[in-house]
Amino acid sequence: MKGLYFQQSSTDEEITFVFQEKEDLPVTEDNFVKLQVKACALSQINTKLLAEMKMKKDLFPVGREIAGIVLDGILPLDSEDPGLCEVVRVHEHYLVHKPEKVTWTEAAGSIRDGVRAYTALHYLSHLSPGKSVLIMDGASAFGTIAIQLAHHRGAKVISTACSLEDKQCLERFRPPIARVIDVSNGKVHVAESCLEETGGLGVDIVLDAGVRLYSKDDEPAVKLQLLPHKHDIITLLGVGGHWVTTEENLQLDPPDSHCLFLKGATLAFLNDEVWNLSNLRILKDVMEKLSTGVFRPQLDEPIPLYEAKVSMEAVQKNQGRKKQVVQF
């Protein structure tokens, strides 16, 4: 039985994925189950995190967001089994029942981004009705779910678009997004747009998709064009606001911290690899909301297993907007 693996020895420029024969699964132990995989979503592998956690292997299994008979779940970071395989062994702690109305591809394609969006909005920023939320890069797979969950809670949503296609996608949302800020040409100021939309009060919650940390001379051209500077985020944040960031190397100078202090604002880091005891309940809620139509994931056409290697290479290079799901 073959599975897809990532060769950690490869550089960022030469990402290598290989199909490899895997050993037969051992006899199921207590609290473990064998899962027949029906669908597996593809997400970027954080090679830097693997290095920091000293998880050095020649081959690292690919595919951790899976749906199958009879259960579905997220494989832990240290799982020996790739999700891109016909059968895997997984601990029951990482599994929840798939609602009958939810397809295999929807389940697998919603797990990671659904848990991330739910964690960011409900646990890190305490979203409540009437709040204003800025969701950066709203047309991404994560952004679309976050927007739908925020609307469900009665929030006013502002979002940024990185291209004309993204802008058109966001303008089709129902209920409508309060303001779509097109940052594709690098001429629109996100802070000014948000302050104008909120009457100068600033937004209550910010979910970023990365920020610029340095001056224009020290940042890559692409990052300059699409991402706001950290000072912009601090400026547009309202009193008592919550800033949820995915920027793992965020650096705040004393004046930045002082400004956040004056606003009584909070800063939280969204690391999707950090699981706590509440995550199983989050996973159940995500599946329930998916089943009842609260949100729909942005999925690409299902991919057959033999195309998984090529598709994973594209995902690792952050190419494409919709979620890629392999269907067995």
The pLDDT of residue 100 is 87
The distance in angstroms from the start CA to the end CA of the chain is 13
CATH class of residue range 112-269:
alpha beta
More confident residue, 9 or 173: 173
Phi, psi for residue 286 in degrees, rounded to 5:
-60, -45
Provide the pLDDT for residue 73.
Answer: 58
Residue appearing with tokens 């030469």: 14
Residue 87 has pLDDT above 60, yes or no: yes
Domains 2-95+298-327 and 112-269 share a fold: no
> Which CA distances in Å does 126 have to 99, 148, 204, 206?
27, 16, 10, 12
The tens digit of pLDDT for each residue in 119-137 reads 999 989 999 999 999 999 9
Mean pLDDT of the chain: 83
pLDDT band at 176; cut points 50, 70, 90: very high
Residue 311 has what pLDDT?
Answer: 87
- Measured distance CA(208)–CA(197) in Å, rounded: 18
This prediction has a pTM of 0.85
**Residue 229 pairs with which residues in a beta bridge?**
212
**Residue 231: what pLDDT?**
92
What residue spans define the domains of the chain?
2-95+298-327, 112-269
* Token duo for residue 275: 């699981």
pLDDT at res. 263: 96
Residue with the bigger pLDDT between 291 and 215: it is 291
Q: What is the pLDDT of residues 20-63, one digit of tens each?
A: 776 665 555 666 777 788 899 988 887 777 777 766 677 777 88
Q: What is the mean pLDDT of residues 152-156?
A: 94
Q: Which of 48, 32, 47, 89 is nearest to 66 (CA)?
A: 89
Instruction: Tell me the pLDDT tens digit for each residue of 232-275.
Output: 999 999 999 999 999 888 989 999 999 999 999 999 999 877 76
The distance between the two most distant Cα atoms of the chain, rounded to a whole number of Å, is 62
The per-residue pLDDT for range 284-311, each reduced to its tens digit, is 888 999 999 999 998 989 988 888 888 8
User: Are 263 and 237 within 8 A, CB to CB?
Assistant: yes
- The Cβ of residue 295 has, within 10 Å, a number of other Cβ atoms equal to 23
What's the one-letter identity of residue 128?
A: S
pLDDT value of residue 50: 73
- Residue 308 main-chain phi, psi, to 5 deg: -65, -35
pLDDT of residue 249: 87
Which pair of tokens denotes residue 286?
Answer: 């995500």
Quick check: helix, strand or coil at residue 86?
Answer: coil
Distance CA 164, CA 56 (A): 41
Q: How is domain 2-95+298-327 classified at the architecture level of CATH?
A: Alpha-Beta Complex (3.90)
CA neighbor of 141 nearest in space, from 118, 109, 181, 119: 109
Cβ atoms of 72 and 98 closer than 8 Å: yes
Whether omega before 33 lies within 30 degrees of 0, making that bond cis, reads: no
pLDDT band at 71 (very low <50, low <70, confident <90, very high): very low
DSSP secondary structure letters along 33-90: EEEEEEEEEE----HHHHHHTT---SEEE---EEEEESEEEE--TT-SS-SSSSEEEE
